[in-house]
Structure 1
Amino acid sequence: MSNRSHAYLLPHLIEQAADASPDADGLRFRDGALTYSELYGRACALANGLLEDGMQPGDRVGILLRKGLESAVALYGVMMAGGVYVPLDPFAPAARIEFVLRDCGIQRLVAGEQTIGTLLTLAETGLELQTVFGVPDEGVLPYRMVPWSTVEPLARTAPVIATTEQDLCYILYTSGSTGSPKGIMHTHRSALSWAEVAASAYELGPNDVVSNYAPLHFDLSTLDYFAGARAGATTTIIPEEVTRFPASLAAFIADERLTVFYTVPMALIHLAQPELLAGRDLDRLRLVLFGGEPMPIKHLRRIMQLIPTARFVNVYGPTETNGVTHYPVEAVPSVDDEALPIGRPYPNVDALVVDAGFEPVPNGEPGELVVRTPTMMRGYWGRDDLNDRAFHTRTPFGGLPDVYHRTGDLAAMQPDGTVRFLGRKDRQIKSRGNRVELDEVEAVLVNHPLVREAAVYAMSNEEGLLEIRAEAIPVQPGVESGELIRHLRSALPSYAVPARIVLRDSFPRTSTGKIDRLAMEAEALATGVNR
């Protein structure tokens, strides 16, 4: 179908699917759909449009789109042109989007008309962009505007680009401990390896209908799009508003006849209500994958009872490595406060639990989980300081060095090879399935001119999920917590904003004068949730 290069790259997944089943639905969204042939053709057209605009191999291209068919066209089109797609959260504050654009040196965006307000705000900051694709030129933005109507007539054959499997294909930005997001770089090889592993592990095939619950900037989406395409399956994109309402989500799963549902524990907790699932035809739903944060046992037991025909699998893996381990749940633990294992490593994954000297610890002993896998990132964009800490090289047999990623997760290896997750070494948590650096939230809060000191920590709420708490010492009386909440919302994504901020005159301290967060958490436990 294409005059492709010799390298095997991520866009070749949809090319192969289009060759095998051109009329099969590759994507569905609301009442629309794209066959694999249509998806491939539209991605080719965008790739040619980007190249005509002067894009060079390796250029980063931002994707500022709400969920829809165009988002898939955009990511494949960017990669076909030899570019690196950088998905942006369209609901994030403009300041955060601006940071990513500047940090990555992005000159081109694929955007939507729903994001014009954000584009106007970015233009007011003096941000220099060359071209925005996907938005008509209304004369209000100082950029070259290329609407879809201009892209669609372009050649629907893939350009020949000198790209290899080792070249970057996407960068995902996650919360950073210094107060700024950090970009995680993945290559075609790492992404393809994960697509192959996931498609094989979960026996995906052309008859499967795979959900896309997560937005593009969330790493769960890579399984939905790439493993689904590798299998020739149909990926059904769940609209944002459907993900917010459990009743709508339950109806969507049944009406779309999903066979594979990949989501976060919070969504399953909200679905685990008999009145939502009673009477719905869920017989085709054979597999429920969940990951992104620990799943409370009491909620898992309930949802498994409500969907008895489905197989449930706990998926573990940081954005840096894609999938590392998985745990098919054969029997729910009988004790609610027992943690669900994260399971055994996927094929071709070497996972070790090591001590501070990076030596493997005995089975059952806690240590840091380090991982060697072909699905691993290249590193952090422009952050050599983080790269130095993120990797460790071992030469266990005196031969060639093996490079491991340091996950920062505490774990214990069981005698049967199953890994148990014990928590974080640092202050990074998962909130609503999204990674949050508590230090970033704290840095933004303390940056407010009326805040002298701030402390941010996480505690389990009544549902057993982590909840972000914040406390602050104001510089003067009369400071309102609502003002500080608004400040955080202007700089952070919604999932990183604490529900409330407690103002106080002083913090508990350690003997060295540092803020004693453990004592603060103990106070919160003793005085109740609404302290």
Structure 2
Amino acid sequence: MSRLERMVSSQAAETPGSVAVVSSDERLTYLELEERSNRLAQALRAHGFRPGERVALLSPKSARTITYVLGVLKAGGVCVPMDTASPVERLLMIVRRIGPCWLLADDVGTDLLPGLLDKVASEVVTGLCLPGGESAGPAHRPVVDAAAVASASPAPLDPGADDSALAYILFTSGSSGEPKGVSLTHRSIAHFVRWANGHFGMSSDDRVACHLQLHFDFTLWDVYGALSCGAGLHLVPPAAGLLPSTLADFLRDSRITHWNTVPSVLSAMARYDVLAARPLPDLRRVVWGGEVFPPHDALHWRRRLPQARLTGVYGTTETAIASTYHTLDAAPSEDEPLPIGVVIPGESVTIVDKDLTPLPQGAVGEIVIGGAGVGPGYWNDPERTASAFVEFPPGSGHRAYRTGDLGSQDEHGVFHFHGRADRQVKVNGYRIELDEIMTALNALPGVAAGVTVAVPDETGRPRICAAYSLTPGTALTPVELQEALSRALPSYMLPAAWAEVDPMPVSPNGKIDIRALQGRFAAREGAVSHDG
């Protein structure tokens, strides 16, 4: 049984009265979660929804949204969580990419509907689901509203037993200028969740913090890890995550025992030493992933949480959350980067050269991941899928994913991360293609040339910087450019510094000199900062 919704339903049958999901305004038991999601699934199917259809979820993280996700899966659908804080133009790209599809909207997501529906044809959005409100959709689209959900049967549906079916499509930054949709199956997600729950000993005694947004792949473990073992899933409210101190207050007041997060959050909390005044005696496990964790910050957490198990995981969205792990068994050295660890059972990690030939121990090459976590590829993008998902070893019939990450393996079998082979960076756990930002920048009226680079900040983390030149007669300030770019890109992709550079530096081969621009921003020559 590797379908995600069945894992949750099985637990609901065992502990129906236990608390399943806790948000700032609602608390659901496993029975309530089960019946509400069943009603949504029944209502969707009654209005013509078919298994395999995609559902774009325009609903912020809440207890209700968790029921929506499960309801979509129970109807046999594919969940496509959307960032409701993203510009409408970016959301439109995603909707068009996954169409024909349904849109499910609640809370602030409902406010986005007019701007989306006005710009897409009925052949793209074939149905609407408004489980928190009244029907207000066009007559030519079926609409599932709150009344339809409330009147539906709470009996379970059978979506089938095919765990190779798609469960999620998660969109990440794309180098072509458009976000790319990573397809994930029930089986690949369930493989990681089962290993992780067993390895970390998660149980019904746990209180799991769901800190990140639902379009971030780490939350798949939060949701299905907690709800498949009888734990309570505690949703961190947006306001609580704004400051290191308020986040620590939430973890303490909710008596969180298990917390998955990203290193940038841990580093911010270490910088202000918030645990000095807010000890977290209940916190037993902290797991981080998505970016490099500076060893001096890891040492801080080791000292502040001597009772806790601290673990870093490494992986990609394309390979279902994580493929390696490393637990801090002792105080780490401040002078050596943390390893990404050893391979999770059922996965494979190989260091290869450009021809996919395995390299010896100690050699640096590209990290290739195979095994149970490898997904089908990118939705509706066969060319990019064929480039990144390859037969490996050649002639074996097995698929693997070329990560583009550089790594090595030492004599103990432990893997180490050595950066990227391309122009992809990780900022606050988000995977960002610098070329996607550059494409959006060059599309702005008045911009003659725009180039994006990454420069390490004082902590060693990448800082996105934009150099630009303007067309003759144009007068645009960095503030105006930032504002214009914010209408095309989410906030986490916006440059932290700007500089007008005219002419652009050119290398001997006639291309823009990226290193020269990086040096200029590192020296802060003429740069205008937009940090914070």
Q: Aligned partners of 2:26 and 2:17: how far apart in 1?
A: 14
User: Does the residue aligned with 2:465 lie in a helix, a strand or coil?
Assistant: strand
- 1:442 aligned residue: 438
Out of 290, 312, 317, which is 1:292 matched to?
290
User: Does the residue aligned with 2:282 lie in a helix, a strand or coil?
Assistant: coil
User: Does the residue aligned with 1:131 lie in a helix, a strand or coil?
Assistant: strand
Amino acid at match of 2:449: E
Is the aligned partner of 1:494 residue 2:491? Answer: yes
Amino acid at match of 1:402: H
How far off its partner does 1:215 sit?
A: 1.0
How far off its partner does 1:115 sit?
A: 2.3
Out of 414, 425, 429, which is 1:429 matched to?
425
| RMSD between aligned residues | 1.9
User: Does the residue aligned with 2:368 lie in a helix, a strand or coil?
Assistant: strand
Q: Aligned partners of 2:523 and 2:492: how far apart in 1?
A: 26
Amino acid at match of 2:101: Q
- 2:342 aligned residue: 344
Q: Aligned partners of 2:243 and 2:509: how far apart in 1?
A: 47
- 2:356 aligned residue: 358
Identify which range, 104-113 or 340-349, moves more after superposition: 104-113
* Partners of 2:299 and 2:334 within 8 A in 1: no
- 2:447 aligned residue: 451
- 2:3 aligned residue: 9
Q: Aligned partners of 2:37 and 2:137: how far apart in 1?
A: 27
User: Does the residue aligned with 2:317 lie in a helix, a strand or coil?
Assistant: coil
Is the aligned partner of 1:519 residue 2:513? Answer: no
Q: Deviations over 1:353-372 (max 9, x none)?
A: 01112111111110000011
Out of 262, 265, 281, which is 2:260 matched to?
262
1:310-329 → structure 2 map (5 Å cutoff)? 310-321=308-319, 322-329=321-328
Identify which range, 104-113 or 89-98, moves more after superposition: 104-113
Identify which range, 134-143 or 357-366, moves more after superposition: 134-143
Q: Aligned partners of 1:138 and 1:372: how far apart in 2?
A: 45
Q: Aligned partners of 1:144 and 1:135: how far apart in 2?
A: 16
Q: Aligned partners of 2:240 and 2:227: how far apart in 1?
A: 23
Q: Deviations over 1:10-59 (max 9, x none)?
A: 10111111111111111111142111111111111110111011011100
Q: Aligned partners of 2:222 and 2:251: how far apart in 1?
A: 15
- 1:382 aligned residue: 380
Out of 62, 65, 74, which is 1:68 matched to?
62
1:63-462 → structure 2 map (5 Å cutoff)? 63-128=57-122, 129=125, 130-137=127-134, 139=136, 145-272=143-270, 276-321=274-319, 322-336=321-335, 338-395=336-393, 400-462=396-458
> How many residues are matched?
522
Amino acid at match of 1:511: P
TM (normalized to structure 2)? 0.94
Amino acid at match of 1:227: G
Amino acid at match of 1:489: S
Identify which range, 109-118 or 92-101, moves more after superposition: 109-118
- 2:503 aligned residue: 506
How far off its partner does 1:463 sit?
A: 2.8
1:471-482 → structure 2 map (5 Å cutoff)? 471-476=467-472, 477-482=474-479
User: Does the residue aligned with 1:455 lie in a helix, a strand or coil?
Assistant: strand
Q: Aligned partners of 2:66 and 2:433: how far apart in 1?
A: 28
* Partners of 2:240 and 2:246 within 8 A in 1: yes
User: Does the residue aligned with 1:330 lie in a helix, a strand or coil?
Assistant: coil
Q: Aligned partners of 1:29 and 1:510: how far apart in 2?
A: 54
Q: Aligned partners of 2:290 and 2:338: how far apart in 1?
A: 13
Q: Aligned partners of 2:97 and 2:377: how far apart in 1?
A: 15
* Partners of 1:136 and 1:146 within 8 A in 2: no
User: Does the residue aligned with 1:323 lie in a helix, a strand or coil?
Assistant: coil
Q: Aligned partners of 2:331 and 2:515: how far apart in 1?
A: 31
Q: Aligned partners of 2:120 and 2:169: how far apart in 1?
A: 24
- 1:3 aligned residue: none
- Alpha-carbon distance change, 303 to 125 in structure 1, aligned in 2, over 3 angstroms: same
* Partners of 2:350 and 2:368 within 8 A in 1: yes
* Partners of 2:135 and 2:144 within 8 A in 1: no
- 1:4 aligned residue: none
Q: Aligned partners of 1:140 and 1:132: how far apart in 2?
A: 9
How far off its partner does 1:227 sit?
A: 1.6
Out of 50, 56, 60, which is 2:44 matched to?
50
Q: Aligned partners of 1:261 and 1:209: how far apart in 2?
A: 9
Q: Deviations over 1:83-135 (max 9, x none)?
A: 10100001000111111111101432221132232112213324533223224
Amino acid at match of 1:422: H
* Partners of 2:90 and 2:489 within 8 A in 1: yes
Q: Aligned partners of 1:281 and 1:67: how far apart in 2?
A: 27
- Alpha-carbon distance change, 51 to 529 in structure 1, aligned in 2, over 3 angstroms: farther
- 2:29 aligned residue: 35
Amino acid at match of 1:503: E
Identity among equivalent positions (%) equals 32
Q: Aligned partners of 1:26 and 1:234: how far apart in 2?
A: 5
Amino acid at match of 1:177: S
- Alpha-carbon distance change, 138 to 157 in structure 1, aligned in 2, over 3 angstroms: closer
Runs of 5+ unmatched residues, structure 2: none
- Alpha-carbon distance change, 293 to 529 in structure 1, aligned in 2, over 3 angstroms: farther
Q: Aligned partners of 1:138 and 1:404: how far apart in 2?
A: 45
Q: Aligned partners of 2:440 and 2:302: how far apart in 1?
A: 40
* Partners of 1:135 and 1:145 within 8 A in 2: no
* Partners of 1:98 and 1:127 within 8 A in 2: no
* Partners of 2:18 and 2:29 within 8 A in 1: yes
- 1:469 aligned residue: 465
* Partners of 2:72 and 2:78 within 8 A in 1: yes
Amino acid at match of 2:174: G
Q: Deviations over 1:247-282 (max 9, x none)?
A: 110100001111111101111112125662234351
Q: Aligned partners of 1:170 and 1:274: how far apart in 2?
A: 37
TM (normalized to structure 1)? 0.94
User: Does the residue aligned with 1:365 lie in a helix, a strand or coil?
Assistant: coil
* Partners of 1:274 and 1:306 within 8 A in 2: no
How far off its partner does 1:308 sit?
A: 2.2
